Amino acid sequence: MREGIRDTLVFDMKDLRHEDFKAFEVLVPAASLGLVYEEAEFTEPLSCAVRLFRQGNDTIYVAADIETKISVECRRCINPFEVDITTTLELLFAVGSESLEQREADERYYDGEILDISEDVRQEVILEVPVWSLCSEMCKGLCSHCGAELNFEACACETTDESTVLDSNPFSVLSKILENN
């Protein structure tokens, strides 16, 4: 049974008491999950297809497909572009206390009434945000001297004279020191 579109990743388990399976469509703003970055802007809410499966009386298996889009800046040419984020989450929740000292890293607990997967979804999406984003593997970036975008124009600074290139390089002093020794 599929529910209407929801705006929260918090589920009332009373809805699943007499059923073994329920599916939900969830649209949740990234900011409501604390997903706010300087380097990436979420251009769409997170779209989550969440499936809850009852396993026994107290155990719930959660499967979620998560999609969103972010706008990032290319690290070479500094132009903005969009990146599709797609990930899958699979967790098993059991009724219990989160304060158990014997708790394993992959175990999840809920109180038997309310199941909240917000933090799990947030962490999964964080792992998918690119750390070093490039608009293309072939991106040539900007000229370090004049700032020309090398993807679209030739740079007047480019030269094949090795001594000119070495003199413009901040590490050229090191090569001169090595030559003198």
* 108-119 per-residue burial string, b: 16 or more CB within 10 A, e: under 16: bebeeeebebee
Q: For the segment 22-79, what is each residue's pLDDT rounded down to a tens digit? A: 999 999 999 999 988 888 899 999 999 999 998 877 788 999 999 999 999 999 999 9
Residue 85 Cα distances to 48, 68, 119, 132, angstroms: 12, 5, 17, 14
Using one digit for the tens of pLDDT, what is the confidence trace for 63-103? 999 999 999 999 999 999 999 999 999 999 888 765 444 44
Average pLDDT across the chain, whole number: 82
Nearest to 75 by CA among 148, 7, 140: 140
Q: What is the pTM of this model?
A: 0.74
- Taking the CA of residue 41 as centre, how many other CA atoms within 13 Å lie in the half-sphere pointing to its CB? 6
A 10 A CB-CB count for 13 gives 19
At residue 173, the 3 state secondary structure works out as helix
Task: Note the helical H segments in 32-136.
Answer: 118-128
Q: Which residues of 81-98 are buried (b: 16+ CB within 10 A; e: fewer)?
A: eebebeeebebebeeeee
Do the bridges between strand 2-6 and strand 21-28 make them parallel or antiparallel, or are there none, so unpaired? parallel
